[in-house]
Structure 1
């Protein structure tokens, strides 16, 4: 009887091992199948964001990308956009950790003088629906909301904080924390962009 129980136990362990092995192999195979399409989709999203935020260019900004670490684990990415060899703008993949739910990632495009050409929201974990508000709020078509706009404004010449904090930019209605985070990401990108410009890190020719 004891031998039978032992045999049954061994069989159960063997079956469990085989099931685990097959499941692991299946997950590994699925990861390999989806890894490249996911990476390609992320790259396409990034390239589209670059095109959206800087003036027309005819180089490949990804070939001239440079990166700057801003803390122990996060990095800003800078994509110089050039037209016939002349710098027309730089797209910066930037972030903040001060969002209501953590990280907010943006792509912001600066003209050579540091003013903002456009921006795109890449990723966030804020309140559902806030992403679409964030994507439109800071570039309003309504002239009455010009104080909410960051387009063509220079973070070095204005107080790029929300008006509630004494700044020059109107926050998204009922979303002050997310608005602060958004502007923080823009300011971080601007500070590093201008620092690199002063160092002569990106040529206009």
Structure 2
């Protein structure tokens, strides 16, 4: 009977030691990779800002504004762009959970009057070969230079002006919803800045 207790105790001590070593190892790896991951994420965001905004000379990332919106689960990111101290546009991160596979997160660049400068897809989990086409330039081109207050950016099946992706109408609707959400925030921010 004594031998069984010793074996059980040895296994328990071994398991405890392995757990401690594994925990410290994971913590160390997390600390080592946290900085590079954050830096890479920031670089992707800066690159997206350059793609969706007119030429700017300020640092929109430093001037990031976060606001709560009833249309988004998280805070909405707003990046104002200036060239020679003149306002040239705003980039807003729009999102929706209504994609075919859940979250679609985009960055929409707006000119001062509200026309869409460009759109970049930041995150999506849509069906490969179908819903992932929301990242294609040909699809996004339908939104460029449109002002959501003057143009109906819904899918044509819903009375709008946007051609749905074949086999991915749900993804197209969700994308349009995210664009509209970004525009609503843009409009609200412009109204607040005038008051």
Both structures adopt the same fold (TM-score exceeding 0.5): yes
Residue in 2 that maps onto 1:93 = 93
**C-alpha separation between the residues in 2 aligned to 1:201 and 1:49?**
27
Residue in 2 that maps onto 1:154 = 147
Of 188, 191, 198, which aligns to 2:184?
191
Residue in 1 that maps onto 2:138 = 137
State whether residues 95 and 104 of structure 1, in contact with CA within 8 Å, keep that contact through their aligned partners in structure 2. Answer: yes
The offset of 1:133, in angstroms, is 1.8
CA offsets per residue over residues 3-25 of structure 1, 9 Å max, x none? 22111111110011111111111
State whether residues 81 and 87 of structure 1, in contact with CA within 8 Å, keep that contact through their aligned partners in structure 2. Answer: yes
TM-score by length of 2: 0.93
**C-alpha separation between the residues in 2 aligned to 1:90 and 1:184?**
18
Residue in 1 that maps onto 2:77 = 77
Pairs within 5 Å for 1:28-67: 28-67=27-66
Q: Does 1:182 align with 2:175?
A: yes
Aligned with 2:62: secondary structure? Answer: helix
State whether residues 138 and 151 of structure 1, in contact with CA within 8 Å, keep that contact through their aligned partners in structure 2. Answer: no
**C-alpha separation between the residues in 2 aligned to 1:131 and 1:19?**
44
**What's the RMSD between the two structures over aligned residues?**
1.6
Q: Does 1:168 align with 2:161?
A: yes
Residue in 2 that maps onto 1:6 = 5
State whether residues 130 and 166 of structure 2, in contact with CA within 8 Å, keep that contact through their aligned partners in structure 1. Answer: no
State whether residues 99 and 170 of structure 2, in contact with CA within 8 Å, keep that contact through their aligned partners in structure 1. Answer: yes
**C-alpha separation between the residues in 1 aligned to 2:117 and 2:73?**
28
Matched positions, count: 193
Unaligned runs of 5+ in 1: 141-148
State whether residues 125 and 132 of structure 2, in contact with CA within 8 Å, keep that contact through their aligned partners in structure 1. Answer: no
**C-alpha separation between the residues in 1 aligned to 2:18 and 2:59?**
48
